[in-house]
């Protein structure tokens, strides 16, 4: 009986502690520039301030301390809700390291790019509000013991923190969510619907241009191969540099010649780039990686740090990277990575034709054709 009384006394104390901290922390957001377009990114600043006399801990998952990790904004365009397309994390209960301390009177500012998290690809009037709701949002340091009790046994306080909503106009043309097909051929545009995850407006525009260059590059590679015979390719520097001897059989003596397999693969790469439903993820930031795919998961391409610094065309370019990645899909050419870089790919063409014709970089460099060879 005595124990039960104690718990209920604790529970009301916790409730007070929680609502008190909630009331004492404020959130404010501002746009960092005033002229916003679909060509550019949408930067906002989030400011969290502790107005209390004692320190408060805020759960980082609902701030931008490690980047935005969930749907913490209410956004509408012309009154319609805008969907969150950023990352979602599966979590266990928060630990001490997941909290950010706000000292009495302290403010913390976060700079956040919204177009990689929410779809800002259409012009219109956008209304943005920060809103975090969680059982675990706040933690008053002196109440840690009671907090842990709370999780197990007693009624909890559901905390919320929100800013006032701010509005802005975004001007410009809609960013194509479908990548336009070659105008001379009619395609079913339904299958060309493109989806983006964690890609900002600038990144979406970059991908669309790179995709269009990749399409031309791949089509021209296919054209080069289909217009040349085995004998012609034997003396063609461009072919020989990247794939070696065109006449070697890819398997036993009745199997296709190497250049026939390469041509077939290029024709499948071109078809995939033009006609398949694509999806892009820009969440990877590794600067040592251009991109990656899961070969058995067509047609999703993950772009990483090195991709954004690459040139549009030429060696190790954005367009070439797309050809490289698309060639990996088992449903396309099922290539592997046997060698990276010009040096490695050239060596492969000399030392092992069968590996060269299943090496992704060899396809990329043949298509990029830089420096140009005939």
Partner 1 sequence: MMVYRSFIVGLVLLASGCDQNMKNLIGLGSNSSLTCTIKSTKSGDNQYLVTFIFTNTTNEPVRFLKWHTPFEGWWSQFLHVEQSGVELLYQGPMAKRAKPTEHDYIELAAHEHRSITLNLLNAYDVALSSPTTITLSSELSHPDSPNIDCSMILVRQ
State yes or no: residue 341 binds partner 1 (CB under 8 A).
yes
Residue 167, Cα to own-chain centre: how many angstroms?
26
How many residues bind partner 1, per CB under 8 A?
47
For this structure, is 358 an active site residue? no
Q: Which residue among 127, 334, 342, 370 contacts partner 1 (CB under 8 A)?
A: 334
Instruction: Kindly tell me which residue out of 30, 33, 151, 255 binds partner 1, with binding defined by CB under 8 A.
Output: 255
Residue 316 DSSP class:
T
- The structure tokens listed for 88 are 């979602």
Edge to edge, the sheet with strand 278-281 lists 194-197, 278-281, 300-303
- Taken in order 282, 283, 286, 292, the sign of the CA dihedral is negative
Catalytic position from the list 113, 263, 325, 368: 325
Whole-angstrom Cα distance, residue 319 to residue 326? 11
Q: Which residue has the tokens 């367009």?
A: 319
Instruction: Using the rule CB under 8 A, give the single segment among 82-90, 183-191, 231-239, 327-335 that binds partner 1.
Output: 327-335
Site for partner 1 in 257-296 (CB under 8 A): 287-296
The 8-class DSSP code of residue 61 comes to: G
Q: How far is the CB of 358 from partner 1 (least distance, A)?
A: 4
Distance between CA atoms of residues 27 and 71, nearest Å: 16
Q: How far apart are CA 48 and CA 101, in angstroms?
A: 11
- The smaller minimum CB distance to partner 1, of residues 24 and 321, is found at 321
Edge to edge, the sheet with strand 138-139 lists: 99-102, 56-59, 138-139
Residue with tokens 């266990």, as numbered in its chain: 92
Binding window for partner 1 (CB under 8 A); candidates: 51-59, 114-122, 217-225, 338-346: 338-346
Q: Is 86 in the site for partner 1 (CB under 8 A)?
A: no
Binding flag, residue 139, partner 1 (CB under 8 A): no
Binding track, positions 342-371, relative to partner 1; x by CB under 8 A: --x--xx-xxxxxx-xx-xx--x-------
Residues that bind partner 1 (CB under 8 A): 248, 250-252, 255, 287-296, 302, 304, 306, 316, 321, 324-325, 328, 330, 333-341, 344, 347-348, 350-355, 357-358, 360-361, 364
């Amino acid at each position: 009986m005595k124990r039960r009384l104690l718990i209920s006394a604790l529970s009301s104390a916790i409730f007070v502690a929680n609502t008190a901290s909630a009331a004492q922390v404020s959130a404010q957001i501002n746009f960092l520039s005033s002229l916003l377009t679909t060509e550019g990114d949408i930067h906002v600043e989030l400011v969290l301030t502790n107005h209390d006399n004692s320190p408060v801990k805020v759960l980082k998952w609902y701030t931008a301390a490690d980047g935005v990790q969930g749907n913490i904004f209410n956004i509408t365009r012309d009154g319609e809700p805008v969907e969150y397309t950023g990352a979602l994390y599966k979590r266990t209960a928060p630990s001490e390291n997941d909290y950010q301390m706000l000292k009495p009177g302290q403010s913390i500012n976060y700079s956040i790019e919204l177009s990689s998290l929410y779809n800002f690809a259409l012009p219109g009037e956008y209304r943005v509000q920060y809103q975090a709701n969680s059982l675990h949002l706040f933690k008053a340091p002196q109440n840690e013991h009671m907090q842990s009790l709370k999780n197990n046994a007693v009624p909890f306080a559901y905390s919320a923190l929100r800013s006032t909503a701010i509005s802005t106009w975004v001007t410009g043309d809609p960013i194509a969510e479908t990548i336009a097909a070659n105008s001379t051929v009619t395609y079913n545009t339904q299958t060309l619907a493109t989806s983006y995850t964690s890609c900002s407006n600038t990144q979406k525009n970059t991908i669309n241009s790179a995709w269009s260059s990749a399409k031309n590059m791949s089509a021209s590679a296919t054209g080069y191969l289909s217009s040349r015979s085995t004998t012609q390719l034997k003396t063609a520097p461009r072919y020989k540099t990247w794939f070696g001897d065109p006449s070697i059989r890819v398997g036993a003596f009745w199997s296709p010649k190497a250049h026939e397999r390469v041509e077939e693969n290029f024709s499948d790469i071109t078809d995939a780039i033009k006609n398949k439903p694509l999806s892009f993820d820009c969440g990877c930031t590794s600067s040592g990686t251009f991109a990656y795919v899961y070969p058995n998961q067509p047609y999703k391409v993950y772009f990483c740090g090195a991709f954004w610094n690459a040139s549009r065309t030429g060696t190790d370019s954005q367009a070439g990277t797309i050809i490289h990645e698309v060639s990996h899909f088992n449903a396309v050419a099922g290539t592997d990575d046997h060698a990276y870089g010009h040096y490695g790919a050239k060596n492969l063409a000399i030392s092992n034709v069968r590996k060269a014709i299943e090496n992704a970089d060899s396809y990329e460099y043949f298509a990029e054709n830089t420096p140009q060879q005939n």
